[in-house]
Amino acid sequence: MRNFSIFFLVAAAAASTSAAERPDAAALYQQHCAQCHGADLRGGNASSMVDGVWNHGTGTGSYKRNIKHGLTHMGMPAYEATLSDREIDALAEYISTAEADAGAVRPPIPDQIQTREYVIDVDHWVMEGLEIPWAIDFLDADTALVTERPGRLRVIKDGVLAPEPVSGTPEVLNDGQGGLLDVAVDPEYPAEDWIYLSFSHELHDDPEEKFQPAMTKVVRGKIRDNAWVDEQVVFEADHDDYIKTRHHYGSRIVFDPEHNLYFSMGERGMQEHAQVLDRPNGKAHRLHRDGSIPEDNPFADTPDAVASIFSYGNRNIQGMAVHPETGAIWATEHGPMGGDELNVLRAGKNYGWPVITYGRNYNGQPVSDQVAAPGMEQPTYFWNPSTGVCGLDFCRGDEFPKWQNYLLAGSLRYEDVTLLTIADERVLHAETIVKNFGRVRDVVCGPGGIIYVVLNNPDVIVRLRNAGEREY
């Protein structure tokens, strides 16, 4: 009985000490945040924290990063030198609790938005039946193909999602960031009716191991009576190069004006692999559509190099697009914490990861002390903090004539689509045209120039149509 009492005395003392040492989050908020975000968290010089609208990432993890490292481009300083990690954690929890207590919910996707040039109708195109849609491409003006990351290829006809997925598609590793990724229609379709898929491919060499090696793979096949047939391998890495990590697969597929195929492969978390030519990860690759190697590939004759490599030093490209006039390959890639990049990919060029970067590791420590180095390309544009860039396409067609050859860049973390004005491979202006609809997984300028935005959380697809020019 005596020992039992001592136990409770010790536990009570520990709890009392813990409570005494716990940061006063409410006081910290009033001292550091209230001047901008309002004493009641409902906004002032800066936005409300309890209205369900977050411009720079949702959840306590994002709140902690934003408090610690700041949003200096928005006028919010970094507090890593002012507040301890425990104080930052307490502040983030305080904000999350206040948001929950206020009953904050995400606003619904609107029916109309306004940009600097246009009023835009937002069609709620496919609003149910999808699970983590990842990419979209079009067979014709009325028929789209959509991948779902768990491993399904879906058909949308006249805005209606077919109830059954295409049968017989490749088995994918649906784990972490892996699964069924991009879909691309052959540039000579329907004469050449190939469909191309990229996905995370798992080996099963050692069933005793918990994690099997995996890598990004590209195949092509045809769809007959809603079945995947005639599959051919376009790219499969040497199995010795497969890795047991479950992130940074890439992967986007595009075709240049000569109809060569380009696809991206993330460095799979093995950042040093991005700088070596005998590994496929951390690269953009160039192939003929049947998987053969173009003779003029930059490393086709380099001993021990992976012959399909087009560019290297790329961390994790999840957006690729071909300029409608120049044919140049543009790409967006994820940085770590900061340093998301927009690049024009050129044959044989080194884009620097991880030797040079504008980002930091997720623990706040430097990846590198260099942002430039001889022989390494500078980004055309970069985002700091990271927005989680994902999905990229050029505007074309008749729907938005003032936006011809502008870039549409999606983002996961910031949940937006940015319209980038491009001239001479320089970004002249950036305008957010979609915000807080959900995590933007893909953005595509479809038939006629109508813009399609593939979202996660919610798992839907919306369509943007021109409702008229803005009047001033």
> Which of 6-10, 209-213, 377-381, 420-424 has the weakest average pLDDT?
6-10
Q: Which of 78, 101, 124 is the last residue of a domain?
A: 101
- Token digits of residue 112: 């109309």
The answer on 232 and 119 residing in a single domain is yes
Highest mean pLDDT among 63-77, 358-372, 397-411: 397-411
Average pLDDT over residues 286-294: 98
Over residues 184-200, the mean pLDDT reads 98
Mean pLDDT of 330-344: 96
Q: What percentage of the chain has pLDDT greater than the value 70?
A: 96
Q: What angle do CA 283, 288, 294 make, to 5 degrees?
A: 75
Predicted confidence (pLDDT) at residue 3 exceeds the cutoff of 70: no
Instruction: Please say if the pLDDT value at position 268 is more than 80.
Output: yes
Residue 248 pLDDT level (bands cut at 50, 70, 90): very high
> Minimum mean pLDDT among 19-28, 164-173, 430-439: which range?
19-28
Is 204 within a domain? yes
For residue 59, give the CATH number of its domain: 1.10.760.10
In the prediction, which pLDDT does 20 show?
53
Q: Same structural domain for residues 205 and 246?
A: yes
Final residue belonging to a domain, choices 101, 136, 158 = 101
Range 123-148 average pLDDT: 98
Measured CA to CA, the distance from residue 113 to residue 119 in angstroms comes to: 6
- CA 164 to mean position of chain CA atoms: 27
Contact 230, 159 (CB under 8 A): no
Q: What angle separates helix 25-32 from helix 85-101, to the nearest 10 degrees?
A: 90
Calculate the dihedral angle through the C-alpha atoms of 131, 135, 138, 143, rounding to the nearest 10 degrees.
0
Residue 338 and residue 460 share a domain: yes
152: in domain: yes
Q: Same domain, yes or no, for 394 and 347?
A: yes
77 confidence band (pLDDT: 50, 70, 90): confident
Dihedral over alpha carbons 414, 420, 426, 428 (to 10 degrees): -100
Please write the tens of the pLDDT for every residue from 84-117. Answer: 989 889 888 989 898 888 888 888 999 999 999 9
The beta-carbon contacts of 111-116 under 8 Å, at least 24 apart in sequence, are: 112/467, 113/433, 113/434, 113/464, 114/470, 115/419, 115/431, 115/433, 115/470, 116/431, 116/470
Torsion angle defined by CA atoms of residues 325, 326, 329 and 332, in that order, rounded to the nearest 10 degrees? -70
User: Can you give the CATH number for the domain in which 431 is found?
Assistant: 2.120.10.30
The residue with greater pLDDT, 22 or 203, is: 203
pLDDT of 197 over the 60 cut: yes
Structural domain span for residue 30: 23-101
Q: Read off the pLDDT band of 70 (50, 70, 90).
A: confident
Instruction: Assess whether pLDDT exceeds 50 at residue 210.
Output: yes
Mean predicted confidence (pLDDT) in 260-279: 98
Q: Residue 383: inside a domain, yes or no?
A: yes
**Mean pLDDT, range 458-465, rounded to an integer:** 98
Let me know whether 128 and 79 are in one domain: no
What does the pLDDT look like over 214-230, one tens digit per residue? Answer: 999 999 999 999 999 99
Above 50 in pLDDT, residue 16? Answer: no
Instruction: Provide, rounded to the nearest whole percent, the portion of the chain with pLDDT above 90.
Output: 77
In this prediction, residue 82 has a pLDDT band, given cuts at 50, 70 and 90, of confident
Instruction: Report how many domains make up the chain.
Output: 2
373 shares its domain with 244: yes
Domain final residue pick, 76, 101, 126: 101
Cα–Cα–Cα angle for 71, 74, 77, rounded to 5 degrees: 45
Give me the chain's average pLDDT, please.
93
Domain assignment of residue 5, yes or no: no
Residue 217 lies in a domain: yes
Q: Is the dihedral of CA 273, 276, 281, 283 positive or negative?
A: positive
The average pLDDT across 118-127 equals 98
Question: Are 416 and 441 in a shared domain?
Answer: yes
Q: Which residues are catalytic?
A: 248
Instruction: Look at residue 136 in the predicted model and tell me its pLDDT.
Output: 98
pLDDT tens sequence across 396-413: 999 999 999 999 999 999
Closest CA to 133 of 449, 465, 458, 464: 458
Q: Which of 176, 110, 174 is nearest to 147 (CA)?
A: 174
Q: Which of 34-38, 58-62, 268-272 has the lowest mean pLDDT?
A: 58-62
